Structure 1
Amino acid sequence: MKSFAYARAADLEAAVKLLSKTPNAKLLGGGTNLVDLMRENIEQPDALVDVTGLPLDRIEERPDGGLVIGATVRNTAVAGHPVVRDRYPLLAQAIVFGASGQIRNMATVAGNLMQRTRCLYFYDHAARCNKRAPGAGCDAIGGFNRMHAILGASDSCIATHPSDMCVALAALDAKVNVIGPSGARTIAFEEFHRLPEDTPDIETDLQPGELITGIEIPPLGFARRSLYRKVRDRASYAFALVSVAAALEVDSGKVRNVRLALGGVAHKPWRATEAERVLAGANAGAESFRQAAEAELAPARGLAHNEFKIELAKRTIVGVLGELAGG
């Protein structure tokens, strides 16, 4: 492991300054992903800025009924919070499905957003990987790509984003609050993570010196009826082949409101906007759900080993929406 400097930020202003003065600095929260990457010499920061002492560890209700979750709140605290469990059950479910209790106790909300892909080629220094070494190529495209992307991929990268929590947040219209040298700003969750295009090493919309301060979830009354389903190779903690986060409101047999996002299928949590468009005002039944799934997966492209994900994603969407609609 490369030698690095360490500093514990006393406040947000200090954190921004510490992060800005060293271009290759990284933030340390729970460290459940970053430390592993450092051990593998994939991440080689010149400095670590410890943010665990900052006052970003609270979950607060907003006057409008929404929720603000601080960046350093542990995943266990989010999943167990009574407001999350009551108003946004898909978020609690996604976190519990995402990792063991030990990891949830350490991992932070911001760290979950910033975690990097679990693509085997990304971890293998003998393989070509544009995400790890820009311009090197992508061995996953012609290699074993069963876990890889079917939506939004490029000739440069077919890796998927590993988070379960982020899929739920994408479905909930969340926003990411950040602060940096130019002040504070808010990023729509759908725009926070980037598709690979020609620069898969640039994974988020964060600018140099910026850090996440928290997540805002708007009031969505119908999200009380929501579900997160994760399809994986084994029941223990494995990364998703396909996952679906959905919230559904049905009125007189018609879809009144719907939110839908997919995991395990793209370089970022995939908001299923085309499926939502098809479902708006449609009959809340299997035929409409299948039409919506077909529309969302129409641009999907499978590779040698992951083409099965296309039909799997469609069936999972139909199954989740069917359960929410009452069978």
Structure 2
Amino acid sequence: MSAPASDLDLEDFLRHGGRLAAARRAFPDAPTPWLDLSTGINPRPWKGARATAASLTRLPDPDEIKALEAAAAAAFGVSSDRVAAVPGAEAALRALPRLLGARSVAIAAPTYGGHAEAWRLAGAKVRCVAPGDLSAVASEAVVVVNPNNPDGARREDLEAGDRWLIVDESFVETAPELSVAVRAGHRLIVLRSFGKFYGLAGVRLGFVIAEPGLAARVAAQFGDWPVSAEAIAAGTAAYADHAWRERTAARLAKDAARLDGLLAANGFEVLGGTSLFRLASTPDAARRFTALARRGVLTRPFSDQPTWLRFGLPKPKDWPRLQSALEGSRR
């Protein structure tokens, strides 16, 4: 039987989304399959090229990786010598603190906790501050997620100056006008994620955009085979699929508006987000999290903001189930 809400340890769900195994353990009686809304991943992924059987039996060819980086660079509006493919934006943000050697960092908060963790593990002094206070904090590096996760806050005033500025654009496909990728260089570094917008998080593909020398140093950190055959095949073809990208951006915006309406109708205040996830607030967020989980719907709670829950988008067939679970969770 599931534990009472008052006895439930939410620790497994506070680090980041996607903890389905922990959800199954905590709520063994929940109906299956689970409806996982705890991440901001497109529920209707790009359907196109995959790795061939032959490519899975050999090491990736350097020319294939260069072709992938060229396809991504064209989509980002930059030259390919400024782009380094990495096994996910997460891998890049973990590598950069040691690669840059900065001993202090200011991080615009609240935001994705992996950034602060990576800098602390590298031995740097970390200060998480409100975005408006970044300029007043002395540090060798600054990290900004734009648009921000989890609240979708947008920044349009990003300049590197004399400090390293790392801009995590993992969700920028939902707001492409915010991207500063074309300005990457000198002390401005941009991170991009493939899996979220394209709905293929499991292929583990991301990119670092920087001045050519630094991009080459990033590439060297990950060796001659930084990404898999699946990542190469999907990324190279998907970034060239402009029509799909435009259709998907429009559909996601409509679905996000629909989710806002559903949340508001069921007692939540929508605080923001992107068209891949919505951040909502309710005084009884822990109880609502548990009530939804008992109905097989996994959301994302927050340790430092106990009234928040983040919701990803459901698949088309799952909207009625989500509506029913939200209505049931109010009781």
The TM-score range, normalised by the shorter chain, is under 0.3
**TM-score normalised to structure 2 length:** 0.23
Choose between structure 1 and 2: higher helix proportion. 2
TM-score (norm 1): 0.23
